[in-house]
Structure 1
Amino acid sequence: MKRDNRPFIHRNADLIRQESVMSLQALAIILFFVSPFSACQTSNPDLVKEEIPYTIVRLCTPCHGEDLKGNIAQSLLDGSWQFGARPTDIFRAIKFGNPQAGMPSWGGLLSDSDIDTLVSYLLRAEKRQGLSRPPIPSTLETQDYQIQIEVLAEGFDRPWGIAFIDSNRALVTEQSGQLRIVENDELRKDPVKGLGAVLGRGQGGLFDVVVDPNFEENGWVYISMTHSLGDKETDERKQARLAPMMTKVIRGRISANHWTDEQVLFEAPHQTYISGGSHFGGRMIIDTDGYLFFSIGDRDSINHAQDLSRPNGKIHRIHADGTIPLSNPFYGQEKAILSIYSYGNRNPQGLALHPQTGELWSTEHGPLGGDELNIILSGVNYGWPVICHGINYNGELISEFTHQEGMEQPIYYWRPSIAPCGLDFYRGDLFPKWKNRLLLGSLKQEELQLLNIKDQRVIYNETILKNVGRIRQVITGPEGAIYILLNRPGALLRLTPDSVQI
């Protein structure tokens, strides 16, 4: 048999086309037997009460059941969505499908308007059932452990980052602009006062928080955030859409619940700021040598990721006081942003240090598929958007290439997208079988994955928690428990072995 030497993305596109043809053939058979009169015979009379062509809904029933409550595929009315709960997630799942999960693509048959109508119908039908998100379970079973789940704190407004001050206190950022303190497993009522206003719309706002390794001596707390050049008197919605913005890094101290001694550590040249509210990156970490790493997404200006005179689409490295290390790979290079450590990064929102090797690992949001797990090395080009393992949101190719000389391949990539975010190597003693394994949170799939890594390869991954909310961050606590920050609901969870009391 002749070998197909085309780039994998081309072969994958052909596979998708073939699956679409098969889906259309299956649909033709379905529609042949479905007439307008058969709608009256459905076991769910509510299906025909909506102002929606019944033949569109009928596409769902062979797999999801006549009442949409499940058949060979899951229920569409139980509050759990396999490929993401936002309307845009459901839209993309219908339009592009998920061949690996047996979900056909319907974009070749249904118009975008038809799909929008179907998504609205499904969400209304779900609401009509009186269903809400399933409660967070109190226990779960994995391959290695029976685990107890505690909801430590609720009521956060889009929590983003978490850092422990000591065994009893943790700082939590809210994307809306508040810095909160969790003390003795309870959320303090009042946020930290004195932190300047942050534009918290779109994907912008207050991002990560990191506590200095020598916090007991110096008290420094590091924060990443959106910085806007807009007039603060301008309507915030208009400002979020029009004002030039970029990710900024500051540090300060907390005294009597007040933010003090603020210093700006990184603020990009203002001429590099970009309008629009997406792809800020924002994750930070301090390594064992005291370097502060932080990510800035491409800000939806994809070609900037390859431009060293632009801060976006990069991972940066500075000293903890904001000065630039002389050993940075582009230090002294004309027009380069001197803090750049790696480039060609689309939107990294997970950073973790390997406990044994000290390597910096990163998760990066891809477009429609092509989320990446990378080891970040000095001066290395990670390829975006020249090479890519995903496609654009409209189904078109971003690049013809998945590989190119001089550009680093990911250690692992996800297709379709899971929207990986929080990342941490497990470093505690409560789960000894998980020592040095990688914990990874997913926004879109709303799951916590456990990755077994050997020789810089993912041997296998296990989904250990699912459908509890969008997992923004996961970290190992001082006592070895696993802490998870959730968006929708805004909550902090703690995972411990079932036999352990904290």
Structure 2
Amino acid sequence: MRYILFVLFISATFVFCKTKAPIVEVTETPAVAAVDFTSAEKNHKNYCSGCHGEQMQAFVDRQWKHGSEASQIFASIKNGITVDGMPSYDTTFTDEEVNELVAYIQTGIANVDKYKPSGEKLAENPSPTEEYSILVEPVVTDLEVPWSIQVLKDGTMFYTERKGTLTMVKPDQTKVEIKGVPAVRNRGQGGLLEVELHPNFTSNKMLFLSYSKMKTVDGRDLSTTAVISAILQGDELTQVKEIFEALPYRPTTHHYGCKLEFDKNGYLFISVGERGFEKENPQFLDNHGGKIHRIKIDGSIPEDNPFVNAHNVVKSIYCFGNRNPQGLALNPMTGDLWENEHGPRGGDEVNLILPGKNYGWPVISYGINYNGTTITNLTELEGMEQPATYYVPSIAASGMVFVTSDKFAKWKGNLLVGSLRFNYIDRVVLNGKKVEKREIMLKNVGRLRDIHQGKDGYIYIATERPGTISRLKVNG
């Protein structure tokens, strides 16, 4: 009960600085004249790159759902797109600065190579690191948005694409699209997300999928994070069962969380983002948003979950106060669960996850809103956990994994964290439960979505733009 009272106290007394910006109508098309892009490039880097990436080619293959004309881009920047998680920059930029950004983006679309950051190249291959020379070997190419990877000892691979497909790649490189995958809401950050194989998959053929589940209520499209279990028979999912559904459903299309990880007891951890409702979800225990959950594989609740005996509380909650957990990794050597938190503008975090703890979002944070406004003036508060390490500026933290393979013996016990924004891997060296050092590796390898250590001992990465799954090997 003390957790609930504390949460309610914090939620009721904390004053948030974020407010909803008014909608501004654009009555005429803003001029897109030839301009000096120095200021626009700086603004793009500081305000836009956390979501859209550092390099201008991020805009080339975009589906312009809200229009790519100058007036439409102008309106999107100025007014924001709340449902997709884009804030208004009405009070951040002048109209002149918005026009410069519009021109910068449109010029980038027309001539993307010109806007690759000066001096940066694709990662060397092999690429030098402190311990190894690493060869990046493409395994699957020409993908849209690969999201999650699992690899068996014989090299059989399973991967998801956000558009809604689960594919198996056999050791002979034959691709098989798996049937029976649930329908997804493929919009914004939603779609088919994580695939996780049961620890005994080779014998029981059980797997788990997280995805954005949709329903329509009174003409409004709503969605949530859901998880199914299924048995793979040949090329089809059978005995499909929904074992987790985050409530409430929301109209937004971002911050689904979606990561899945087993602990040593065979319980399944599920990360759920706050869906853009930071005032309502993370600090309240009567909903699923902004939390990490722990369940049994049939969807039931472990008897030792921290809030299992509390009243009016979601029993699956393992910890709370999370923003959008995009990495979840169990340290097989210690049994500890670690998470990375995709923060706002600044404030990405790596956390050791402990039962019943409050990780602070949005009461404490090392970041600010994407449009530069203040979220909170607090970076710490009694009763709320501090990150093991945090990133300012944000790296747009994504998938992560602990290294245990003999193929990378010098990295054993290290945590590899992917960066969507800066296109690299951050190698986090731990001393017990403390971060000792970090090394940036494979710079410019691609917009990194997932990192996975296969049962075959190799490390695999999924990158966007280009959509590729690659195998990492020690060179020589």
TM-score (ref. length: structure 2): 0.79
Match of 2:353 in 1: 376
Q: Would the aligned equivalents of 1:84 and 1:444 in 2 still touch at CA under 8 Å?
A: no
Change in Cα spacing, 1:107 to 1:452, as seen in structure 2 (3 Å) is farther
Query: Post-superposition shift, 1:187?
Result: 5.3
Report deviation, 1:267.
Answer: 1.8
Summarize the Cα distance change of 1:146–1:128 in structure 2 as closer, same or farther, 3 Å threshold. closer
**Structure 2 residue 216 is matched with structure 1 residue 230:** yes
The amino acid that maps onto 2:316 is: S
Q: Distance in 2 between matches of 1:218 and 1:368?
A: 43
2:108–2:115 Cα contact (<8 Å) kept: no
The change in CA–CA distance for 1:390 and 1:217 in structure 2 (over 3 A counts) is same
Cα deviation 1:340-388 (Å, max 9, x = unaligned): 1010000001011123221100001111110010011101000001111
Secondary structure of 1:149 counterpart: strand
Shift of 1:130: 11
Q: Which has the higher contact order (CA 8 A, sep 6+)?
A: 2
Change (3 A) 1:194 1:122: closer
**1:248 has 2:218 as partner:** no
Pick aligned residue for 1:180 from 167, 176, 197: 167
* Within-5 A mapping of 1:91-106: none
Which of the numbers 288, 305, 330 marks the counterpart of 1:353?
330
* C-alpha contact (below 8 Å) 2:134/2:475 kept by paired residues: yes
- Structure 2 match to 1:325: 302
Amino acid at match of 2:33: I
Q: Distance in 2 between matches of 1:81 and 1:406?
A: 34
For the Cα contact (< 8 Å) 1:153–1:185, is it kept in 2? no
* C-alpha distance 206-265 of structure 1, shift in aligned 2 (>3 A): same
Please name the residue that 1:99 is paired with.
Answer: none
* Pairing partner for 1:343 from 306, 312, 320: 320
Displacement, 1:488?
1.9
Deviation at 1:115, TM superposition (A): 2.8
Q: How does 1:112-127 map to 2 (within 5 A)?
A: 112-127=98-113
Q: Secondary structure at the match of 1:111?
A: helix
Q: Deviations over 1:103-141 (max 9, x none)?
A: xxx96996233333234334534357999x966653111
- The equivalences for 1:19-30 within 5 A come to none
1:284 matched to which residue of 2? 260
Flag the 1:366–1:81 CA change in 2: closer, same or farther, 3 A: closer
Work out the CA distance in 2 between the residues paired with 1:299 and 1:243: 14
The one-letter code matched in structure 2 to 1:52 is: A
* Counterpart AA for 2:386: Q
CA distance in 2, matches of 1:393, 1:479: 40
Q: 1:157, 1:126 → 2: CA distance?
A: 19
Question: 1:85 and 1:417 mapped to 2: Cα distance?
Answer: 20
Letter in 1 for 2:419: S
> 2 CA distance for matches of 1:445 and 1:422?
14
SS in structure 1 opposite 2:216?
coil
Partner of 2:153: 166
Q: Which whole-Å CA distance do the structure 1 matches of 2:152 and 2:474 have between them?
A: 23
- The C-alpha deviation readout for 1:301-328, integer Å capped at 9, x for no partner, is 0021111111010000001121101211
In the alignment, is the contact (CA less than 8 A) between 1:170 and 1:182 conserved in 2?
Answer: yes
Alignment CA distance shift 1:362-1:84 (3 Å): farther
CA distance in 1, matches of 2:152, 2:252: 34
* Aligned-residue offset at 1:199: 1.7
Distance 1:129 1:363 in 2: 30
Higher mean C-alpha displacement, 461-470 vs 299-308: 461-470
What amino acid sits opposite 1:283 in the alignment? Answer: K
**Structure 1 residues 117 and 214 mapped into 2: Cα distance closer, same or farther (>3 Å)?**
same
Residue pairs, 1:69-468, within 5 angstroms: 82=54, 86=58, 111-127=97-113, 137-184=124-171, 186=173, 188=175, 190-230=176-216, 242-269=220-247, 272-303=248-279, 304-468=281-445
1:52 to 29, 33, 51: 33
Shift of 1:156: 2.3
Q: Secondary structure at the match of 1:244?
A: strand
C-alpha separation in 2, matches of 1:457 and 1:108: 44
**Structure 1 contact 161–473 (Cα < 8 Å) conserved:** yes
How many residue pairs end up in the alignment?
A: 408
How many Å apart are 1:333 and its aligned residue? 1.8
Cα offset for 1:281? 0.2
Is the 1:85–1:444 Cα contact (8 Å) retained in structure 2?
no
- CA drift of 1:221 comes to 0.4
Contact 2:40/2:100 (CA < 8 Å) preserved in 1? no
- The whole-number CA distance in structure 2 between the counterparts of 1:164 and 1:251 is 18
With over 3 angstroms needed to count, the CA separation of the structure-2 counterparts of 1:144 and 1:452, relative to structure 1, is same
Choose 1 or 2 for highest CA Rg.
Answer: 1
- Tell me if the contact between 2:142 and 2:467 (Cα under 8 Å) persists in the aligned partners: yes
Distance 1:84 1:167, change over 3 A: farther
Following the alignment from structure 2 to structure 1, what is the Cα–Cα distance between the partners of residues 358 and 278? Answer: 14
Distance in 2, Cα, partners of 1:400 & 1:465: 35
Task: Indicate the SS of the match to 1:253.
Answer: strand
**Matched residue of 1:114: which SS?**
helix
8 Å CA contact retained: 1:165, 1:211: no
Counterparts of 1:359 and 1:323, CA distance in 2? 22
Q: Distance in 2 between the 1:51 and 1:176 partners?
A: 34
Give the direction of change, closer, same or farther, for the CA distance of 1:403–1:138 in structure 2 (3 Å limit): same
1:58–1:138 Cα change, 3 Å: closer
Closer, same or farther: CA 330–186 of 1 in aligned 2, 3 Å:
same
- Unaligned regions of 5+ residues in structure 1, if any? 1-49, 64-79, 92-105
1:207 is matched by which residue type in structure 2?
Answer: L
1:152, 1:185 within 8 Å by CA — same for their partners in 2? Answer: no
Cα distance in 1, alignment partners of residues 144 and 104 from structure 2: 30
Q: Which runs of no fewer than 5 residues in structure 2 stay unpaired?
A: 1-30, 43-51, 61-73, 75-91
SS, match of residue 431 in structure 1: helix
Paired residue type of 1:495 = L
User: d(CA) in 2 for partners of 1:455 and 1:350?
Assistant: 20
Return closer, same or farther for 1:430/1:381 CA change in 2, 3 Å cut-off.
same
Deviation at residue 467 of structure 1 after TM alignment: 1.6
Once the 2 structures are TM-superposed, how far is the Cα of residue 148 of structure 1 from its aligned partner? 1.7
